[in-house]
Amino acid sequence: MKARWCVFLIFLLSLPLHAATVKRLDLDGLVATAQTIIVGKVSDSHTYWTDDGRLILTRYTIEVDETLKGFPSGTIEVTTIGGTIGELTLHVSGMPAFGVGERTVLFLESTGRYRTVVGLGQGKFSIDNDFVSNDVSELKFEDGRRGRPTRLRLEEFKDDIRRRMRR
């Protein structure tokens, strides 16, 4: 049992040292992959261990202001890998994190029993002063190129999403 915990701790400690390697998704890819696209505000978060005690997960409650794709209304829950419990932190490079009160545009998919953000941080756009932005600099893409930050007006971004969905 002690050896299992040592291996687990070594695994956890090694996570922040490596960037996640993911498929690069442009806006067409995000729109096509997402089952749900919403504009909303984070109202709560809860960090917990998985049932088997192997991973730390964080579940965020999002108050839906607008649905661009799919059918959610009211509130939805989004789950990410990582978080802090006590003095132990699990950080996965490129995994989005949210702050309570944060406004965001999210591209979401269901993976088994969880609703998650598409393409790690690629599917999370923070809203500030009517602009959306995302920073995927922690991600390592399959093509070897670095991610570039995105920043544009919220209404233009939503219009662009709607245009791509009509195609």
Of the two residues 64 and 11, the one the predictor is more confident about is: 64
Q: Kindly report the number of other CB atoms within 10 A of residue 158's CB atom.
A: 16
d(CA 79, CA 61): 9
Q: What contacts 83, CB < 8 A, 6 or more positions away?
A: 47, 56, 57, 58, 89, 90
Predicted structure pTM score: 0.85
pLDDT digits (tens, 9 = 90+) for 93-145: 889 999 999 999 999 999 888 999 999 999 999 999 999 999 888 788 888 88
Q: Above 60 in pLDDT, residue 12?
A: no
* Residue 57 pLDDT class (50, 70, 90 cuts): very high
Is residue 38 within 8 Å of residue 31, measured between CB atoms? no
Third-level CATH fold of 2-166 = OB fold (Dihydrolipoamide Acetyltransferase, E2P) (2.40.50)
d(CA 65, CA 73): 8
Per-residue pLDDT reduced to its tens digit, 19-50:
557 888 999 999 999 999 999 999 999 999 99
